[in-house]
Structure 1
Amino acid sequence: MLVSQFYGRPLRHINHKPWQLALLPQERVRGAIRGAANRERLLHPSSTKSVQRRIRFRLLAAYRRRFGHDPFVSALSVPRFKVNATRFWLPSGYAWWKERLLGQLPQRPY
């Protein structure tokens, strides 16, 4: 399960440039798009994540112009990725590490 782990900066790789995408084979272009999509998934919701989303859409548009529409494009063309539940939240609240590892009951004042 992918979980947001950091606030980062949008990744602008050399393979994200239109002139570079025109020279790369199809699998390398797909790899650049997968990398951008994976980085977007891992970012916390922020302006950086929206910039990374726009990078993904530009890469997908360039792929579509060069190789046409296929199942790869339709899988990554969703406007926003599904939000994954964070790992440590339980219905009763946050599961602290001692409670998870040692099996202790919550020591909370309520």
Structure 2
Amino acid sequence: MKLSDDGFNARHLRPRGSSAWRWRLLAGLAALFAAFGVLLSMAGAATLLGRPPALGPLNDSIGAAITLLLFGLFLLWGGINVWRRCRRRMRRNRGADLSLSPGLLKKRH
């Protein structure tokens, strides 16, 4: 390949993609929500199983423990879904700057 001295750089022809820091931040927040959901659901399940309440007066009754368990499971489910979508979006953005068709990026068996 011949190097020219006219200052041509092929990298400047490639379109600049958006930075992935927003998706990384959102994925980190989603992971925190999922972890918080695990902790809340464990506290609710511990109260339902007869252990002393982990959160003091917040889950003294059976109804409050069930609410805590369901809210924790909802946070866990939502956090995992948002985290997976962010990871998929970051991975798609990384492969898109090569201008290849998505079928060529798949692994061959």
Relative to the length of structure 1, the TM-score reads 0.31
Relative to the length of structure 2, the TM-score reads 0.31
Higher Rg of the two aligned structures = 2
Larger helix proportion of the pair: 2
Relative contact order, higher structure (CA 8 A, sep 6+): 2
